[in-house]
């Protein structure tokens, strides 16, 4: 996960990679203060864990969107094949229900990402 902080001098948003899921875990990994350096003005300073925050990953949004788009197109192809070959309602209904799988994957990935960010941002480390 990437967590972000703002430089007190230039207000540039910087990022740090971590495996912590909450600020408490982040504090246990790094102690009461983490030494960081601004990418823009190169100022070195110590920052407490409660000053870090998480944001939703654009990669997860792009990945879930691609899965949704490709899955829907493949599903529509199979629905059209079933309609042309098979005239039974049950077969068409079964394949049409398969169209819900990419929608479900899209929803699960986005919900988990929101929960991950919410969990990190709502927990605070005791000072």
Segment 26-50 shows an average pLDDT of 90
Asked if 20 and 30 touch (Cβ cutoff 8 Å), the reply is: no
Q: What is the pLDDT of residues 69-118, one digit of tens each?
A: 888 888 788 777 777 776 677 777 777 777 788 888 888 988 999 999 99
Asked if 29 and 20 touch (Cβ cutoff 8 Å), the reply is: yes
- ∠ CA 119-120-125, nearest 5°, is 115
């Amino acid at each position: 996960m990437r967590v972000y902080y703002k430089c007190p001098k230039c207000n540039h948003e910087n990022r740090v990679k971590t495996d912590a899921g909450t600020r408490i875990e982040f504090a246990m990994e790094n102690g009461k203060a983490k030494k960081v350096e601004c990418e823009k003005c190169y100022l070195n300073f110590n920052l407490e864990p409660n000053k870090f925050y998480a944001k939703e990953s654009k990669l997860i949004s792009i990945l879930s969107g691609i899965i949704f788009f490709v899955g829907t197109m493949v599903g529509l192809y199979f629905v059209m094949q079933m309609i042309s070959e098979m005239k039974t309602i049950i077969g068409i209904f079964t394949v049409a229900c398969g169209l819900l799988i990419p929608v479900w994957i899209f929803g699960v990935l986005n919900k988990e990402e929101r929960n991950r960010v919410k969990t990190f941002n709502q927990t605070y480390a005791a000072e």
